[in-house]
């Protein structure tokens, strides 16, 4: 039986729609419509990303301030020692 299947040609019937803008689902001015939908959606996603990043930074700052108040009772603040401006001997 397997040898019979090997000898027969394999026929695939595939039909393609006509290359027409309506057949592709765009319609008249469809690409412009898709762009007009995509751009505001991309702007909204960008604004949401910027808001989340800003929230993350402010949250970090709030937690650091709370830790400083708890450790030092508001007398000291933690700073990084930046000695990049000191001369090299």
pTM beyond 0.75, yes or no? no
| 65 within some domain | yes
Separation of alpha carbons 81 and 63, rounded Å: 20
Separation of alpha carbons 26 and 6, rounded Å: 42
> What letter would DSSP give residue 20?
-
Task: State which residues form the domain around 51.
Answer: 33-74
Q: Are 48 and 54 in contact (CB under 8 A)?
A: no
* pLDDT score of 43: 95
Q: How many domains does the chain have?
A: 1
* pLDDT score of 30: 78
pLDDT of 84 above 90: no
Region 10-23 average pLDDT? 59
Region 65-89 average pLDDT? 76
* pLDDT score of 85: 64
The percentage of residues in the chain with a pLDDT greater than 70, rounded to a whole number, is 57
| 62 within some domain | yes
| 79 within some domain | no
Region 13-35 average pLDDT? 65
| 46 within some domain | yes
| 53 within some domain | yes
* pLDDT score of 61: 87
Separation of alpha carbons 46 and 29, rounded Å: 26
Q: Are 59 and 68 in contact (CB under 8 A)?
A: no
| 40 within some domain | yes
């Amino acid at each position: 039986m397997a040898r019979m299947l090997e000898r027969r040609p394999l026929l695939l019937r595939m039909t393609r729609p006509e290359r027409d803008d309506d057949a592709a689902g765009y319609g008249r001015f469809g690409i412009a419509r898709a762009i007009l939908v995509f751009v505001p959606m991309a702007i909204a996603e960008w604004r949401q990303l910027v808001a989340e990043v800003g929230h993350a930074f402010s949250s970090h700052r709030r937690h650091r301030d709370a830790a400083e108040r708890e450790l030092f009772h508001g007398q000291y603040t933690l700073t990084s020692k930046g000695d990049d401006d000191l001369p090299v001997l």
